[in-house]
Amino acid sequence: MAGKVFFASDFHLGLRVGTDPLEREKRVIKWLNEVAPDAREIFLLGDVFDFWWEYKRVVPKGFTRFLGTISSLTDSGLPIHFFTGNHDMWAGKYLSEECGLIIHNEPYLTTIDDRVFYLAHGEGLGTTSIGYKILLYVFRNRSLQKLYSALHPAIGVWIGHKWSHNSRLGKGISLEFLGEEKEDLFRHSKKILETAKVNYFIYGHRHLPMKSKIADDSAIIIMGDWIVSSSYAEWDGNELTLRMIN
């Protein structure tokens, strides 16, 4: 099939750390418009928004340019996949029904040009932290989500952005590679390889742009974030390349 496939993650639209949020949104839109003519498919691998909560009749403030661009591209027939991350796992029907995004809440295994791709945001995969597992359980609990939705949007969105901002500064994501045995996503990928053949594992979440071979004919690619610089991966039908935008 003609055309390239593009992958990106961790735009963190709305985050008031690093670059100006509006400048970041415009940079993302510029990239989308530049790659779209050559794209047959685009995968956005989570934490597209720094916080997103859907109310039945309220759309969060901001992101107008991004949502308009996405809607225009999907209206043109370009498939765009949206993977929920730990900052926007509460995405619902609005993004699919109004904007045309294909929503993924779990890791996604797909074949592209006879190569097998394992795609996910990456939160919780391979983790040995009981505390983090409990936190993810709380975030994903349907009953607790219904209770949170009962809050007035002005309160709910404010709390969400406050939490997101503090977690970004306080959770201490290391930008140093810790070694394959200590990296959750490497452990998870190697576990998958015990029972399945995968050529490329592509993740977000870690905020550390890198590409590494982990087995014969198998590599792991981790997206960087767009908070300061920007990175994305490009599949041209034969080779997967990790590219940087400064």
pLDDT digits (tens, 9 = 90+) for 1-38: 579 999 999 998 988 777 788 999 999 999 999 999 99
The yes or no reply on domain 4-245 and CATH 3.40.50.9100 is no
- Exposure string of 180-213, with b = 16+ CB inside 10 Å and e = fewer, is eeebbbbbbbbebeeeeebbbbbbbbbbbbeeee
User: Between the CA of residue 8 and those of 16, 202, 208, 215, 222, what are the distances in Å?
Assistant: 20, 9, 13, 23, 10
Q: Is 111 helix (H, G, I), strand (E, B) or coil?
A: strand
Residue 167 host element (H or E): helix 153-170
Contact criterion met (CB below 8 Å) for 221 and 233: yes
Tokens describing residue 120: 């996910």
User: Between the CA of residue 181 and those of 50, 129, 178, 214, what are the distances in Å?
Assistant: 29, 15, 8, 12
pLDDT digits (tens, 9 = 90+) for 87-126: 776 777 888 899 999 999 899 999 999 999 999 998 878 7
pLDDT digits (tens, 9 = 90+) for 185-231: 999 999 999 999 999 999 998 888 899 999 999 999 999 889 877 99
What residue ranges do the domains of the chain occupy?
A: 4-245
Length of the chain: 246
pLDDT for residue 153: 66
